[in-house]
């Protein structure tokens, strides 16, 4: 029988267990994510610089490099084939721009609705759990203003979720956060100024109704619920760990839960543990302290041997869900956020008794059901739009974080219109890594994802993912290339792209790869469908020289012969402000409409 009834029958043990589990799993996940992505980036860089030996590099001006203008397209079934141009459907650039700008917001508000349901369940549970006479004998938590304040406090993760899905600029994010805290302040003011404690008359002493709250106490309540998980989420959202954090957290939570469960069982069943330690000390002739250390080492190793395979099976399940499109990179990251908050809220609920912990589990599943129902409706509406332009992104690899920031903002909007294609590089390796690619790296199979010749290139193009995810977005597809295969892959991608965005910030004579790309683009893509991004770091004189030299050597079948280079006006990009992003999106959508007009 358990020898620790306090832990077994009260909420104290649940509080301690969940707190230790959350802390241990999070710390291990952060460490593992940083290490894993660092190793992944190094491996990608090494394989990119290697020679495959299976494909002869071509030049942008080589007539043999010409390929069919057919582009990959997938019908509503599972068979992939090639089709000319865009799918049937006419959408103006204004329609495309409106969708790119507002669909992320609509999607975010669906998550916000699900988050409010989650908050109502948690807020109601906290109200009932903490209104017991033994916890709050004045039953102030039952007051409507206290209830509303608690529910709104638990809605904080919905604000973070909206900021992740919707506009990436800081101004919009700040406005949402400010609006949340203004309403929180209003509810807190009502709770502080309105009598929440009932009048009391005892031993001839009468105490009138009064407010049992103060601004400091209300701020303490909110902080108790949200500060720790918010700090943790900020750490998990860092660019150096965000791609691997959901997978690492899932794995480490399973392993930590198994270890914590076995250690807790060893503590609860102390008589059995003491007997085992005494037997080991007597059998092996060691001290009791050595036997105690050995005992915990053995049970820790045993729990790892049991839970590591379970954790790996969970990762495989996530990979299969990603491949079947029931899970997306975004949904995986958001689920991790809500699980973290549900775990921390369950610690607070455990004060009212162990049974209240299950309300956090129920709240999370209600949240998931609401999200799934909303995604189904959202995706059905998006699928009625047949024009899904593909965006090819090229860039100066040395841009690093600047390239990553622009890519993240543009892809966040464009993925509601169509897919995003790019050649993988170390600059975006940690931003675009998909769950199945990361698991392939862990399993030592990353090399198999690289294009080594015509056969693997054809297979990659044939299996190109052109269907929406369950959340209605298209995916980012990055092509892993060796040093002697990227040029051939580029020539194929250029032909199949509807719009090309080339980030030429910091472009200079040393960037021979970008020069090759510019020549290939001018030979294959109409100028009107090219968007070149420049800023003050671009060597504009050399860019103009490169364009003129490439233009003078155009092939006879180039769509740009007879056109003026004035049609290619580089886009001056000076900040990640809201207006600047809007202008760039408008330019991309206008290019997409030109592609649509060409395919008629």
DSSP secondary structure, 515-557, as one string: HHHHHHHHHHS-GGGEEEEE-TTS-HHHHHHHHHHHHHT--TT
pLDDT band at 59 (very low <50, low <70, confident <90, very high): low
Q: Percentage of the chain surpassing pLDDT 70?
A: 81
Residues 445-469: tens digit of each pLDDT: 888 888 888 888 888 888 888 888 8
Say how far residue 264 (Cα) sits from the centre of its chain: 34
How does residue 585 score in pLDDT terms, banded at 50, 70 and 90? very high
Beta strands 205-207; 391-395: pairing state? unpaired
- Residue 335's alpha-carbon distances to 233, 363, 379, 562, in angstroms, are 12, 13, 19, 53
> CA 41, CA 432: separation in Å to the nearest integer?
11
Q: Is residue 364 predicted with pLDDT exceeding 90?
A: yes
pLDDT band at 20 (very low <50, low <70, confident <90, very high): low
pLDDT in tens, 245-259: 888 878 877 777 777
Sort strands 450-451 and 420-423 into parallel, antiparallel or unpaired. unpaired
Strand-pair category, 200-202 with 205-207: antiparallel
pLDDT for the residue 28: 77
Q: Which helix (H) or strand (E) is 570 found in, with range? A: none
Q: What is the pLDDT of residue 64?
A: 44
pLDDT digit string, tens, across residues 214-235? 778 788 889 888 988 888 888 8
Binning pLDDT at 50, 70 and 90, where does residue 518 land? very high
pLDDT greater than 50 at residue 376 = yes
Considering only CA atoms, which of 317, 287, 337 is closest in space to residue 439?
A: 317
Q: Is 85 helix (H, G, I), strand (E, B) or coil?
A: coil
pLDDT band at 519 (very low <50, low <70, confident <90, very high): very high
> Distance (Å, rounded) from C-alpha 150 to C-alpha 147?
5
3-state secondary structure string, 369-407? Answer: HHHHHHHHHHHHHHHCCCCCCCEEEEECHHHCHHHHHHH
Distance CA 492, CA 71 (A): 9
Is a pLDDT exceeding 90 seen at residue 541? yes
Q: Which of 176-185, 349-358, 366-375, 459-468 has the lowest mean pLDDT?
A: 349-358
pLDDT value at residue 78: 32
Between 245-268 and 288-323, two packed helices, what is the crossing angle to 10 degrees?
140
Q: Could you tell me the pLDDT band of residue 578, with boundaries at 50, 70 and 90?
A: confident
**Residue 391 CB neighbours (<10 A):** 25
Q: What is the mean pLDDT of residues 59-80?
A: 38
Given a cut of 80, is residue 334 above it in pLDDT? yes
Q: In this model, does residue 22 exceed pLDDT 60?
A: yes
What is the second-level CATH architecture of the domain 63-92+388-598? 3-Layer(aba) Sandwich (3.40)
| Whether the predicted pLDDT of 517 surpasses 70 | yes
Lowest mean pLDDT among 7-11, 420-424, 469-473: 7-11
Q: Determine the Cα–Cα distance for residues 596 and 128; give it in Å rounded to an integer.
A: 58
Structural tokens at position 369? 């059901």
- DSSP code of residue 573: -
- The kind and range of the H/E element at 456 are helix 454-462
Helix (H) or strand (E) holding 285: none
At residue 195, the pLDDT reads 67
- Say yes or no to pLDDT of 477 above 50: yes
∠ Cα 479 240 500 (to 5°): 35
Sign of the dihedral defined by the CA atoms of residues 560, 563, 567, 568, in that order: positive
Rounded Cα distance between 552 and 529, Å, is 19
How distant is the alpha carbon of residue 483 from its chain centre? 30
Where residue 87 falls among pLDDT bands split at 50, 70, 90?
A: very low
More confident residue, 199 or 365: 365
Among the residue ranges 136-145, 455-464, 545-554, the one predicted with the least confidence is 136-145
Per residue in 501-512, pLDDT (tens digit) is: 999 998 999 988
Quote the pLDDT of residue 500: 94
Q: How far apart are the first and last CA of the chain?
A: 78
Q: Is 509 exposed, middle or buried (0-12, 13-18, 19+ CB in 10 A)?
A: exposed
12/182 Cα distance (integer angstroms): 34
- The yes-or-no verdict on residue 312 having pLDDT over 80 is yes
424-441 per-position pLDDT tens digit: 877 666 677 778 788 888
What pLDDT, on a 0 to 100 scale, did the predictor assign at position 12?
A: 54
Position 15 scores a pLDDT of: 57
Max mean pLDDT among 156-165, 332-341, 395-404, 589-598 falls in: 156-165
CA distance 364 to 337: 11
Q: Tell which residue, 583, 585, 590, has the closest CA to residue 567.
A: 590
Tens of pLDDT along 155-207?
A: 999 999 999 898 767 778 889 999 999 999 998 888 877 765 555 555 555 54
Q: What is the pLDDT of residue 132?
A: 55
pLDDT of residue 348: 80
Instruction: Give the residue, 50 or 541, on which the prediction is more confident.
Output: 541
Specify whether the CB–CB gap between 99 and 416 falls below 8 A.
yes
Strand order in the sheet with 420-423: 450-451, 476-481, 420-423, 391-395, 499-503, 530-534, 571-572
pLDDT interval class at 116 (50, 70, 90): very high
pLDDT for res 6:
44
Task: Judge contact between 78 and 572, C-beta under 8 A.
Answer: no
For the chain, what are the domain ranges?
A: 5-34+105-198+209-379, 63-92+388-598
Give the Cα separation of 454 and 432 in Å (integer).
Answer: 24
Average pLDDT, the chain: 79
Q: Is the dihedral of CA 223, 224, 227, 230 positive or negative?
A: negative
Sole residue written with tokens 């698991």: 439
Neighbours of 273 (CB within 10 A): 18
More confident of the two residues 343 and 494: 494
- Bridge partners (DSSP) of residue 478 are 422
Q: Which helix (H) or strand (E) holds 284?
A: helix 270-284
Q: What's the pLDDT band for 392 if we cut at 50, 70, 90?
A: very high
Per residue in 267-309, pLDDT (tens digit) is 777 788 888 888 888 888 888 788 888 887 888 788 777 888 8
Q: How far apart are CA 433 and CA 446, in angstroms?
A: 11
């Amino acid at each position: 029988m358990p020898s620790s009834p306090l832990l077994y029958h009260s909420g104290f043990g649940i509080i301690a267990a969940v707190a230790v589990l959350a802390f241990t799993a999070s710390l291990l996940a952060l460490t593992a994510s940083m290490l894993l992505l660092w190793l992944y980036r190094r491996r990608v860089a090494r394989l990119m610089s290697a020679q495959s030996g299976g494909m002869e590099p071509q030049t942008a001006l080589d007539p043999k490099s010409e390929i069919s203008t057919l582009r990959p397209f997938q019908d509503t079934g599972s068979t992939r084939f090639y089709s000319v141009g865009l799918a049937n459907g006419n959408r103006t650039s204004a329609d495309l721009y409106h969708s790119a700008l507002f669909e992320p917001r609509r999607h975010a508000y669906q998550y916000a609705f699900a988050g409010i349901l989650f908050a109502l369940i948690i807020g109601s549970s906290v109200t009932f759990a903490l209104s017991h006479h033994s916890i709050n004998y004045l039953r102030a938590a039952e007051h409507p203003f206290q209830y509303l304040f608690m529910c709104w406090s638990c809605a904080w993760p919905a604000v973070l979720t909206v900021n992740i899905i919707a506009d990436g600029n800081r101004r919009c994010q700040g406005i949402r956060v400010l609006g949340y805290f203004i309403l929180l302040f209003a509810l807190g003011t009502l709770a502080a100024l309105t009598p929440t404690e009932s009048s009391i008359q005892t031993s001839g002493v009468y105490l009138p109704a009064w407010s049992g709250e103060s601004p400091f106490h209300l701020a303490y309540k909110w902080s108790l619920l949200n500060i720790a998980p918010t700090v943790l989420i900020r750490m998990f959202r860092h660019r150096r760990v965000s791609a691997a954090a959901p997978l690492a957290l899932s794995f480490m939570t399973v392993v930590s839960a198994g270890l914590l469960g076995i250690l807790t069982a060893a503590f609860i069943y102390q008589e059995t543990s003491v007997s085992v330690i005494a037997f080991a000390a007597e059998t092996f002739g060691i001290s009791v302290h050595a036997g105690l250390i050995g005992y915990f080492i053995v049970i820790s190793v045993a729990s790892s041997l049991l839970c590591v395979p379970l954790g790996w099976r969970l990762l495989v399940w996530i990979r299969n869900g990603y491949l079947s499109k029931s899970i997306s990179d975004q949904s995986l990251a958001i689920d991790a956020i809500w699980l973290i908050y549900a775990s921390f809220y369950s610690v607070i609920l455990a004060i009212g008794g162990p049974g209240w912990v299950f309300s956090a589990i129920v709240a999370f599943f209600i949240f998931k059901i609401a999200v799934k129902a909303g995604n189904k409706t959202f995706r059905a509406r998006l699928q009625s739009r047949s024009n899904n332009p593909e965006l090819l992104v090229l860039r100066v690899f040395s841009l690093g974080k600047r390239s990553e920031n622009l890519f993240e903002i543009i892809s966040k909007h464009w993925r509601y219109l169509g897919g995003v294609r790019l050649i993988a590089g170390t600059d975006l390796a940690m931003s675009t890594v998909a769950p199945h690619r990361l698991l392939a790296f862990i399993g030592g199979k990353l090399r198999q994802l690289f294009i080594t010749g015509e056969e693997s290139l054809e297979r990659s193009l044939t299996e190109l993912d052109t269907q929406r995810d369950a959340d209605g977005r298209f995916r980012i597809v990055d092509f892993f290339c060796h040093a002697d295969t990227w040029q051939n892959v580029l020539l194929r991608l250029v032909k199949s792209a509807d719009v090309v965005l080339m980030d030429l910030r910091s472009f200079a004579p040393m960037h021979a790869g970008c020069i090759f790309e510019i020549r290939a683009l001018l030979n294959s893509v109409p100028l009107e469908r090219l968007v070149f991004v420049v800023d003050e770091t671009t060597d504009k004189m050399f860019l103009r020289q490169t364009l003129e030299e490439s233009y003078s050597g155009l092939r006879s079948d180039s769509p740009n012969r007879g056109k003026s280079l004035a049609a290619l006006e580089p886009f001056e990009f000076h900040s990640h402000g809201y207006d600047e992003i809007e202008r760039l999106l408008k330019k991309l959508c206008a290019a997409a409409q030109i592609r649509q007009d060409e395919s008629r």
